Amino acid sequence: MTRQERALRTRRMILEAAAEMFNELGYDATTISGLIDRIQLTRGGLYFHFTSKEELARGVLEEAISLDGFVPQAFKLQEWADLALLLAHRLPREPVLSAGIRLSVDIKAREMFGTRWPDWTEMGNEILTEAKDRGELLPHVDPCETARLFVGAWTGVHLLTEVLPDGDLSKEVSGLLALVLPNVACAGVLAKLDTSPYRAERLLVAAGVPQPS
Amino acid sequence: MTRQERALRTRRMILEAAAEMFNELGYDATTISGLIDRIQLTRGGLYFHFTSKEELARGVLEEAISLDGFVPQAFKLQEWADLALLLAHRLPREPVLSAGIRLSVDIKAREMFGTRWPDWTEMGNEILTEAKDRGELLPHVDPCETARLFVGAWTGVHLLTEVLPDGDLSKEVSGLLALVLPNVACAGVLAKLDTSPYRAERLLVAAGVPQPS
């Protein structure tokens, strides 16, 4: 492993530990000292990568938009569904992704760092706009409004699923797509979409993304 | 005003001020001393009603289920839409309601006090189950799943609307209903539902609920 590879791994390890702490304790209660205890790194080793809690939060939010497993599909609406399903599959397994949402719903952190919701909304809007141009959408659908409402709906379904006994985010998001898509997709396209809760795992394996056991 | 009326008003005033602080500062950063400063009440005056921050949070969550303005309708689905629209209209105007959600998305507060999401979900489930019995729903609709997904979607749309420039929750929730209802209601019923963003205000005025100017 080169020095650069080692540095990248350390950076990633720090970011994941910080994300776990944001998730467990919230932004306010997370401290640099607590992080150092957890990762058994010297203060100097940490400061080489991140010099403050603010920088760690920014690092988490920078990585909160991630397209692992996403590949172009015949229908743009399948791509829209895939984004939702991939994130639902990965979020409970990747603390950096869940910490991104945790920071977005925390008043203090949100004021300091903003949220990534506008980026997700814009990405959905672009996909739905192209879906509209290709004739995949029902005529009444407004891509921008639909993209925005869906990012909100996805986020809230995630928050509720956290408190459900045995809550399974992939299953809930699959249900959300089944609730919304029949009023978005034209019938022929709808019949060809795969919104199964297992789809994301298949996409990730096909893309060669290592799966945690 | 009788002594009892005065006590009830003071209790309400305290709860609203505490809710404002939960909204502005979060649960952790809210303190009893800060609350006393804000409401200009003696410590004894406060303690007659609430003796701790925990009690204040519980008081807020107790009032987070509120049916002001809700009246039985010819269609159960209209009642379901009315709940969503009434809460959307009231939430930005009533700190106690928004603080209920704020406490539910705060990790520490949620662990201590739970959330009211199961209660909202159960209420939606009861209404949708009766709608199903009356033949208002499309045949594939599962009342329980739909109620749960909708409470999640509503919550997330609220959170996103908070960060939208000029976000209007009544308009967003009206849009969410328009996105979801065509895949829930049978066509004849759908055409008779009113999901306008202005409906809640009309319901509240008709019910004689005083409207803040």
Q: Is B193 helix (H, G, I), strand (E, B) or coil?
A: coil
Q: Which amino acid is at B199?
A: R
Q: Are the C-beta atoms of residues B62 and B117 closer than 8 Å to each other?
A: no
Distance from chain centroid for Cα B169:
12
Confidence band of B206 (pLDDT split at 50, 70, 90): very high
Give the gap in angstroms from C-alpha B129 to the nearest C-alpha of chain A: 17
What single string gives the DSSP state of each residue in A16-36? HHHHHHHHHH-TTT--HHHHH
pLDDT, position A186: 97
CB within 8 Å: A149 and B179: yes
Residues of B within an 8 Å Cβ radius of A: 23-26, 28-29, 102, 104-108, 110, 114-115, 117-118, 121, 145-146, 148-149, 151-161, 163-164, 172, 175-176, 179-180, 182-184
Give the SS3 label for residue A137: strand
Which residues in B lie closer than 8 A to residue A106 (C-beta atoms)? 26, 106
The predicted structure's pLDDT at residue A51: 92
Dihedral of CA A172/A177/A178/A180: which sign? Answer: positive
- Selecting from A25, A152, A179 the residue whose C-beta is nearest the C-beta of B156 gives A152
Facing residue for B152 by CB, picked from A108, A110, A153: A153
**Of residues B117, B163, B183, nearest to A160 (C-beta):** B117
Mean pLDDT of the region B37-46: 90
All residues of chain A having their beta carbon less than 8 Å from the beta carbon of residue B107 are: 23-26, 102
- The Cα–Cα gap between B31 and B21 comes to 9
pLDDT for B119: 93
Give the helix ranges, DSSP H, for chain A.
3-25, 32-39, 43-47, 53-62, 76-90, 95-105, 107-113, 117-133, 143-163, 169-180, 187-190, 199-206
Q: Do A28 and B25 touch (CB under 8 A)?
A: no
Q: Which of B102, B96, B86 is nearest to B211 (CA)?
A: B86
Banded pLDDT at B213 (limits 50, 70, 90): low
Q: How far is CA B200 from CA B96, B182, B207, B209, in A?
A: 18, 20, 11, 11
pLDDT in tens, chain A (213 residues): 788 899 899 999 999 999 999 999 989 889 999 999 999 889 998 999 999 999 999 999 998 888 999 999 999 999 999 999 999 999 999 999 999 999 999 888 999 999 999 999 999 999 999 999 999 999 999 999 999 999 999 999 999 999 998 999 999 999 999 999 999 999 999 999 999 999 999 999 999 887 765
- ipTM higher than 0.85? yes
Q: State how far residue B32 is from chain A, nearest Cα, in angstroms.
A: 19
Give the integer Cα–Cα distance in Å for B24 and B28. Answer: 11
Cβ contact, residue pair B154, A158, below 8 Å: no
State whether B172 and A153 contact (CB < 8 Å).
Answer: no
The arithmetic mean of pLDDT across residues B39-43, rounded, is: 90
What domains appear along chain B, each with residue ranges and CATH number? Answer: 3-62 (1.10.10.60), 76-206 (no CATH)
Instruction: Quote the CA–CA distance of A58 and A35 in Å, as a whole number.
Output: 16
Contact flag A105-B110 (C-beta cutoff 8 Å): no
Task: Using an 8 Å CB-CB cutoff, list chain A residues near B104.
Answer: 159
Distance (Å, rounded) from C-alpha A16 to C-alpha A94?
A: 8
Contact A107 B25 (CB under 8 A): yes
Q: Specify whether the CB–CB gap between B107 and A102 falls below 8 A.
A: yes
Q: Are B141 and B132 in contact (CB under 8 A)?
A: yes
| pLDDT value of position B3 | 87
Interface test with B, best of A22, A107, A181 (most B CBs within 10 A): A107
Interchain CB distance below 8 Å, B163 and A115: yes
What tokens does A158 get?
């995630």
- The pLDDT assigned to A213 comes to 58
Nearest chain A residue to B158, by CA = A152
CA nearest A28: which of A63, A6, A57?
A57
Give the model's pLDDT for residue A203. 95
pLDDT of residue A17: 95
Query: Looking at chain B, which residue has its C-alpha nearest residue A22?
Result: B107
Preferred mutation among B155, B158, B163, B176 to probe A, highest tally of A CBs within 10 A: B155
> Looking at residue B205, what is its pLDDT?
93
